[in-house]
Structure 1
Amino acid sequence: MAGTLDVAKISEYFRNKSVLITGATGFLGKILVEKILRVQPDVKRIYLPVRAENAAAAKQRVEKEVLGKELFGLLREQHGAGFDVFVAEKVVALAGDVTCESFGVEAEMLRELRLTDELNVIVNGAATTNFYERYDVALDVNVVAVKHMCNFARRCPNLEVLLHVSTAYVAGEKQGLVPERPFWDGETLRNGTHLDIDAELRLPRDLRNQMEVDVDMDSSPKARRKAMKDLGLTRARHFGWPNTYVFTKSMGEMMLGQMMREGNVPFVIIRPSIITSVQNDPLPGWIEGARTIDAILIGYAKQSLSCFLADLDLTMDVVIPCRGTWW
């Protein structure tokens, strides 16, 4: 399917566009930032909200965790001594927090940048992908942050599209051909259950309050972490999802669909499956961390894995980031 994409048309689309990307310090996020800057140098601006104390700290973090990576080597070669000037003109680091309204960006900064008036594209790549994350953390990042993003998008009169990165595994542990369709508010994977997102958002607070007042409960930080993780897993399995990650990502999709349809904002949800290293450009084989299938690939590359069991007739559902996830 990726081979049918009109690469030139997609690249041209970003000409003179203002784009906001959340999760830019993550693996997929920095790949997208590099890709846009390299194939469409006439992009107007790329805004990157990141967690930081102030603007200077945000700029430093983006320079170190995004622009400073070897992934940007080809782009540096293209611009030579002018690289720093180029990215300074195109990339704007914003001190913020996606779990807060307006991405946590100060109102004065929003007015100064005229961000709501200028934005054409929002890409939401921020997420916690820990399968067994604390329920309060997973809800904040994968659900509440989506709500705040939708509220912000509604205030952007020139917004052309909001792209939300989800996961193929919101479908649960189904086998065979699984049709792509949106989740509706309250839908679950287990018959006879109904999901109330607002009620789920209250559960971590209720648990914290209970642990504080119940003298028989261990309220140490370690016990709190375990209780929150157990709560997330229990709720996920109650509604038919295998873990907290895909459960909260499903709720995020529901939140997005409901709010964007009400606000008449064009939106797209993409559901990549297993994401591995870069295939070709800008740096073949580049990867960060070692998650899921990555350990097998690294073991094979280092010749420390002599063999492993596999079904030769099985088609693996794997995405090569620079080729399959973006364009």
Structure 2
Amino acid sequence: MLDAMDAASIIGYFKGKSILVTGATGFLGKILVEKIMRVQPDVHKIYLLVRASDEPSAKQRVQQEVIDTELFGLLREKHGKGFQQFVEEKVVALAGDIIYDNLGLETLPMLEALAKEIDVIVNIAATTNFYGRYDVSLDVNVMGVKHLCHFARQCANLKMLMHVSTAFVSGFREGLILEKPINPGESLREGTYLDIDAELRLVREVKKELAAMNSSSSDDDDAAHTNKKKTERTAMKELGLQRARHFGWSNTYVFTKAMGEVLLGQLRGDIPVVIMRPSIITSIREDPVPGWMQGTRTIDTLIIGYAKQNLSCFLADLNFVMDVIPGDMVVNAMMAAMVAHSEEKGAQVVYHSTSSLRNPATYNVLYQSGRRHFYENPRVGKDGKVIPTREMYFFPTIARFHLYMIFTYKIPLEILHLVNLLLCGFFSRLYNDLNRKYKFVMHLVDVYGPFAFFKGCFDDMNLERLRLTMAMKTPEDCMFNFDPKTIDWDEYFTRIHIPGVLKYLCK
């Protein structure tokens, strides 16, 4: 049974706490750090683990990539001239990396001192590339969890480990998807058993084979070295996608995040663990900066293409639900969950921070919001003339899109290839450019297509129970709102998210 909470209890929880955050230079990490510092200036310390060669470099990176961003403007105004001193008192940049034992921290005394102080660990660090290198994705999304668990078990005063995953670890199933942990060995394809150690061994073996092949080559100039690196990178990307699909996941990112969750469940011991699984995270809805965002999400490709008018068609069924959730709501849910399950020995709770069940938004809502925004706010070209807003065609199935691509590119490519042969390669550059574009588009469809036609619905009963414990009686309480039912999607997309995409992504 969860205890009742309000803003005062959440704010009070973080007073005097020492918090370790990984992934603080990312979108969600920045929002969390800013929110804690703004609502609870008496937090003891916030340690930010960032990749850097040494402590001064780590400090510089945190300053430039976190503190100096527009996101911290409200906090900057609040503290005035004392802002930088406040930051230096509260924020500690650590040069390290979760892909290494002991988090890559320089000395054992440093690690031991940190372990004595930490009350809460928040793991947001991840490589989110759908088509990333398998070895890199395993290092960050899987082994990173292992190293963090080993460190967490050394923290005598640890009250909570918050791990941010993704709702899409469930794969692209149809129907209601429950908030439940992933069991060891569990995969999405019947008849397969997912052995994490075997996957790690496979990567080592493939890399060893690639190294042996490369060493047999006598070329040792820069071009040959670059080519070897490119070959390894391509091989690791292809291996990740191949292994993900062998076990039933659509891409390397969600596959390795699922493995990370499994490892967390195995290694956590009696540490209280909360796994937060957001769906597609979008721009800030409320505070501190509505519309602020960092990094392009899957749905933003549509907005950017429409804004630039270089996208005449898109792969999506307008009647399908796209599960999206604003970044500030995810952070609010994280903070409430930390308080609710702090010091619950042995607890492992999974939360879906999603919208498809409580307040579904279709692709059509996004498209109509975009049309209205651009008709009301027409773009102006470099010549000062208004750029007309065109309608866009949507392909409701991948099969129809493939057919379109065959007639638009494949058949012309084959004709051009024959002409090219007859004219001794006269059109070779044109042919190669068109072929590259065709392959690139088909690759995008292959990787992103499952998101466009996702038929699942994320159950959020656990998060609903947490919501029901929250008092929403004062403006201060509303600062921790994470109820998707309070979102007017049309208003949010038209007035907040689309302007945010144009300002922060299209610049």
Corresponding letter in the other structure for 2:122: V
Pick which of 6-15 and 231-240 moved more: 6-15
Alignment of 1:33-44 (within 5 A): 33-44=33-44
Residue among 307, 324, 332 paired with 1:318:
324
Corresponding letter in the other structure for 2:170: A
1:282 paired with 2:283, answer: no
Corresponding letter in the other structure for 1:212: A
Residue among 240, 244, 247 paired with 1:239:
247
Give the CA deviation at 1:309: 8.7
Alignment of 1:58-97 (within 5 A): 58-97=58-97
Alignment of 1:255-274 (within 5 A): 255-260=263-268, 263-274=269-280
Q: Distance in 1 between matches of 2:214 and 2:148?
A: 39
Corresponding letter in the other structure for 1:150: C
Asked whether the equivalents of residues 319 and 325 of structure 1 are also in contact (C-alpha less than 8 Å), the reply is: no
Q: Distance in 2 between matches of 1:192 and 1:5?
A: 45
Q: Distance in 1 between matches of 2:236 and 2:193?
A: 22
SS at 1:46's partner residue? strand
Q: Distance in 1 between matches of 2:179 and 2:22?
A: 24
Q: Distance in 1 between matches of 2:310 and 2:293?
A: 18
* TM-score, with length taken from structure 2: 0.60
Which string of whole-angstrom CA distances, capped at 9 and with x for unpartnered residues, describes residues 103-157 of structure 1?
111225625x821111110000000000011000000000001000000000001
Q: Distance in 1 between matches of 2:232 and 2:61?
A: 30
Give the CA deviation at 1:294: 2.1
Asked whether the equivalents of residues 272 and 325 of structure 1 are also in contact (C-alpha less than 8 Å), the reply is: no
Tell me the equivalent position of 1:12: 12
Q: Distance in 1 between matches of 2:115 and 2:211?
A: 41
Q: Distance in 2 between matches of 1:117 and 1:278?
A: 34
Asked whether the equivalents of residues 211 and 217 of structure 1 are also in contact (C-alpha less than 8 Å), the reply is: no
Pick which of 98-107 and 235-244 moved more: 98-107
Which string of whole-angstrom CA distances, capped at 9 and with x for unpartnered residues, describes residues 237-284 of structure 1?
111111110110000000000101xx2111010100000101111111
- CA pair 306-325 structure 1, distance change in 2 beyond 3 A: farther
Which string of whole-angstrom CA distances, capped at 9 and with x for unpartnered residues, describes residues 173-214 of structure 1?
111211111011111111111111111111121011112334
Tell me the equivalent position of 2:302: 296
SS at 2:278's partner residue? coil
Tell me the equivalent position of 1:132: 131
1:153 paired with 2:152, answer: yes
Q: Distance in 2 between matches of 1:106 and 1:132?
A: 32
Q: Distance in 1 between matches of 2:173 and 2:216?
A: 38
Give the CA deviation at 1:12: 1.8
Give the CA deviation at 1:229: 0.7
1:223 paired with 2:231, answer: yes
Larger radius of gyration: 2
Q: Distance in 1 between matches of 2:43 and 2:215?
A: 59
Corresponding letter in the other structure for 2:247: F
- CA pair 293-215 structure 1, distance change in 2 beyond 3 A: closer
Give the CA deviation at 1:305: 8.1
- Please, what is the CA RMSD of the aligned residues? 2.4
- CA pair 296-213 structure 1, distance change in 2 beyond 3 A: closer
Alignment of 1:160-179 (within 5 A): 160-179=159-178
SS at 1:177's partner residue? strand
Tell me the equivalent position of 1:57: 57
Tell me the equivalent position of 2:467: none
Which string of whole-angstrom CA distances, capped at 9 and with x for unpartnered residues, describes residues 24-52 of structure 1?
00111111100100011111100001111
Segments of structure 2 that go 5 or more residues without pairing to the other structure are 218-226, 334-507
Q: Distance in 2 between matches of 1:54 and 1:109?
A: 16
Residue among 248, 252, 273 paired with 2:256:
248
Q: How many equivalent residue pairs?
A: 321
SS at 2:92's partner residue? strand
